[in-house]
Structure 1
């Protein structure tokens, strides 16, 4: 009996060691999942803060101040048809939120240039345009211009779109080429910058 016990002891030791390894592996996986979840929550919070501070200022605060300026020579009247402006506002808001979601949970980054996605986002609306987020924000401003019958907001929308174009061409695209290399080059060859079907 004593001899048999001694013979079986190594097997028991192996079983115990295996259980410990499995337990450790499970704990490590669980810990890794918790860390990933915490990172995702932190990135989402930063995206919300950026949205409030930057697009919120550009799409809400500045238009409010421009409308408060209220120079009638820069206004026009389209009557009840101005409610049509609600459609591009809604479409633009959905576009921005969709893109911000993909940036946060697919790219693991934010729309802020100082904290960009860690992975190249090519899904969702980014399959059709390279800059759908800027397009969405422009739609919001155009909708506001119709809704409030303001030519100033039309000019403001055009100004911001021009600034976005310069920012994309001279900063964003060179930065993405440096970060993602050939994968971004291939993406640029197949997906348009602003209008589907155009380079």
Structure 2
């Protein structure tokens, strides 16, 4: 796939998928109305803002890397041509899903709404099942030894503190 097409496809994916999952659905659940903060303190709301702000760069960077470095998109119908193992992908294999989860949980804390926390748990469960049943086997078939090495060195969900360096 040519880079301009990959960038356009990734931009469309960003607007359609993560923006809907981390923006439209939380709005639909809460109408972004504040409830009493968790634990009765504004500190939980501040943590929520921090999580939202922390999740955005990981999401944008991951999608950008798929287009610019991988010459593809995050969508299974137009996958990358090369395995992306730079940026946040050096710390964790699924930074895009983790970024979206962080944004969802941040909104749950900000708005004091348990429904968003439950939605975040459901989102993670669906992502985990998708990763183990489709994504990892597909990446293994496409990138064989390169993906195996990456898989053995970079955790699926809990980020490693030091970035992995490809041999």
Q: TM-score, normalised by structure 1?
A: 0.74
| Structure 2 spans left out of the alignment, 5+ residues | 161-167
Larger radius of gyration: 1
Are the equivalent residues in 1 in contact too, given 2:47–2:110 (CA < 8 A)? yes
SS state of the match for residue 118, structure 1?
coil
RMSD, aligned α-carbons: 2.1
> Runs of at least 4 residues of structure 1 off by over 3 A?
74-79
Report the number of matched residues.
158
Query: Which aligned pairs between 1:149-168 and structure 2 lie closer than 5 A?
Result: 149-168=112-131
Aligned position for 2:134: 171
Contact 1:89–1:143 at 8 Å: present in 2 too? yes
Is residue 2:37 matched to residue 1:78?
no
Which of the pair is proportionally richer in helix? 1
Is the 8 Å Cα contact of residues 75 and 152 (structure 1) preserved in structure 2? no
Answer yes or no: is 1:124 the counterpart of 2:75.
no
- Are 2:29 and 1:66 equivalent residues in the alignment? yes
- Show structure 1 runs of 5+ residues with no match: 1-35
For 1:120, what is the secondary structure of its paired residue?
coil
CA deviations on 1:1-34 (whole Å, 9 max, x unpaired) are xxxxxxxxxxxxxxxxxxxxxxxxxxxxxxxxxx
2:109 is equivalent to residue 146 of structure 1? yes
Name the CA distance, whole Å, in 2 between partners of 1:110 and 1:104: 6
From 53, 56, 63, the counterpart of 1:90? 53
